[in-house]
Amino acid sequence: MAKVISSQEFVKNVKEEKGIAVIDFFATWCGPCNMLGPVFSDVAEELKNEAFFAKVDVDQSMDIAQEFGVSTVPTVIFFKDGVEVKREIGFMPKEKITSALNSIK
């Protein structure tokens, strides 16, 4: 399962690190987010050696959500060396997450 991270952990593990990070911005009350959760966790487990995977609860970490202009959940943002390189909004099947990750390697 992908870990829910705080704003401080986001800075440390995404903005200040080299490599690829895939972050699922979600809300606990969001139906499509709850559908994406297990799919995202499966991909995170399978590809844990290829990228850092984590989740950000937009209600708990509003500062990060606002910084990246996340106004719709779920939003999955792909980062490379701390910089956003791709964004997907809404529910995604496993194959789409994997394909998006492969496109930025």
Q: Which residues are identified as catalytic? A: 30, 33
Task: Decide: 55 and 30 in contact? Cβ < 8 Å.
Answer: no
Q: What angle do CA 78, 79, 81 make, to 5 degrees?
A: 160
Chain-centroid distance, C-alpha 62: 15
* End-to-end Cα spacing for the chain: 22
- Alpha-carbon distance of 61 to 20, in angstroms, equals 21
Type of residue found at 63: D
